[in-house]
């Protein structure tokens, strides 16, 4: 641990560490593979740690990548004045990355990202939705079911319902039948989710529209909502399933690239075709920043209807930095590679 040089510490939880722990806890290997795949950004970013170190060196920063299991010891020894901590992967249930910003706070270290309390909130979709609704934001109402029983009855919906795990990663669906047209099937899905993943399900009225993502990186401390990048993310399907996700990231995604079968979803600026929807999304993100405390680095997922109706689906405090959409955002908004954008962000935090 260098003590004479400003240092960026990147804390990440590897897929294998998560997989081994889940298997030890009794999860079937196939389920453990699926669950741990949500940590694929650790797998995808690891080959670029050398590039990150070189980019940091340009700013006279040291770079240290720390696996989560070793973070407590490393952060306890870090220099409070010359260290900034960036948490790559979050989690409060299957994943444990939410502990990293709490450890940083415990040791008096500066962080890039939101307060640790929001790491927990964003990972519990039902509680998060309740808070977002209280703020007056356009989030779909939700019911909650556990293992075939309603804990909170879902609202009526003429368009059917959408069923998703409450705490597992950030996906908006697991299987192709996650959209259903009767509540009996929603309860069957909750049985399946509980058997596979030991999780509750959120059951929301289905909302039509295109999937859109707002990305944000506060490269400079005074960066505001003007740096938000909002894009439609079109993958050819109505929503992303577990299989879709696994085909894009981690070892499966790397194998697809090697085989020449990898295909990224298409990105299109929302403002190019629906400027009013783009304006609404910006206003929602602004409220999330002011009222909820989002800052530094985050993403927000939406559904956008053709008439510019916007539905807020969820927010992420640890967006997939090495994913295609965030890399594209760094290029378009900041004119930088991911490594250079991360290094400059860290340098600005340590020199202001």
Residue 3 has pLDDT above 80, yes or no: no
Average pLDDT over residues 69-88: 97
Question: What's the mean per-residue pLDDT of the chain?
Answer: 91
The tokens for 225 are 């909502």
Express each pLDDT in 326-346 by its tens digit.
999 999 999 999 999 999 999
**pLDDT in the model for residue 120:** 92
Residue 238 has pLDDT above 70, yes or no: no
Average pLDDT over residues 75-87: 97
**pLDDT in the model for residue 237:** 60
Average pLDDT over residues 89-111: 94
**pLDDT in the model for residue 234:** 83
**pLDDT in the model for residue 2:** 47
**pLDDT in the model for residue 254:** 58
**pLDDT in the model for residue 242:** 60
351: confidence class by pLDDT, cuts 50, 70, 90? confident
Residue of higher predicted confidence among 221 and 236: 221
Domains of the chain: 7-113 (no CATH), 141-205 (no CATH), 209-351 (3.30.470.20)
**pLDDT in the model for residue 300:** 97
Measured CA angle at 240 (ends 45, 328), to 5 deg: 45
What b/e string do you get for 122-150 counting C-beta neighbours within 10 Å, with b at 16 or more? bbbbbebbebbeeeebbbbebbbbbeeee
**pLDDT in the model for residue 194:** 97
Residue 215 has pLDDT above 50, yes or no: yes
State the Cα–Cα distance between residues 191 and 195, nearest whole angstrom. Answer: 6
**pLDDT in the model for residue 212:** 96
By mean pLDDT, which of 135-149, 162-176, 177-191 is the weakest?
Answer: 162-176
Residue 224 has pLDDT above 60, yes or no: yes
Count other Cβ atoms within 10 Å, centred on residue 260: 7
**pLDDT in the model for residue 352:** 72
Residue 144 has pLDDT above 90, yes or no: yes
């Amino acid at each position: 641990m260098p003590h004479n040089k400003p240092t960026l510490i990147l804390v990440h939880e590897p897929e294998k560490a998560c997989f081994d722990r889940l298997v030890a806890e009794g999860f079937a290997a196939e389920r453990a593979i699926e669950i741990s795949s949500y940590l694929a950004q650790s797998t995808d970013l690891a080959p670029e740690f050398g590039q990150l170190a070189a980019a940091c060196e340009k700013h006279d920063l040291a770079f240290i990548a720390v696996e989560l299991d070793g973070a407590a010891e490393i952060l306890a020894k870090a220099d409070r004045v010359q260290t900034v901590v960036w948490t790559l992967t979050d989690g409060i249930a299957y994943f444990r990355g939410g502990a990293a910003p709490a450890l940083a706070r415990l040791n008096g270290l500066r962080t890039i990202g939101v307060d640790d309390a929001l790491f927990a909130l964003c990972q519990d979709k039902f509680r998060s939705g309740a808070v977002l609704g209280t703020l007056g934001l356009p989030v779909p109402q939700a019911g909650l079911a556990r293992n075939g029983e309603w804990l909170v009855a879902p609202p009526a919906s003429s368009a059917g319902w959408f069923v998703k795990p409450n705490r597992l990663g950030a996906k908006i669906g697991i299987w192709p039948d996650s959209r259903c047209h009767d509540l009996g099937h929603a309860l069957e899905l909750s049985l399946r989710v509980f058997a596979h993943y030991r999780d509750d399900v959120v059951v929301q009225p289905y909302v039509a529209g295109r999937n859109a993502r707002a990305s944000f990186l506060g490269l400079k401390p005074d960066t505001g909502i003007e740096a938000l990048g909002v894009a439609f993310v079109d993958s050819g399907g109505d929503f992303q399933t577990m299989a879709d996700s696994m085909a894009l990231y981690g070892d499966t995604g790397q194998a697809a690239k090697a085989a020449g079968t990898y295909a990224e979803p298409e990105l299109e600026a929302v403002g190019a075709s629906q400027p009013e929807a783009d304006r609404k999304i910006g206003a929602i993100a602004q409220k999330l920043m002011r009222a909820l405390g989002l800052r530094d680095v985050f993403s927000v997922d939406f559904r956008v209807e053709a008439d510019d109706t916007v539905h807020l689906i969820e927010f992420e405090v640890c967006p997939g930095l090495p994913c295609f959409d965030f890399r594209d955002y760094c290029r378009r908004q900041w004119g930088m590679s991911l490594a250079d954008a991360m290094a400059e962000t860290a340098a600005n935090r340590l020199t202001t």
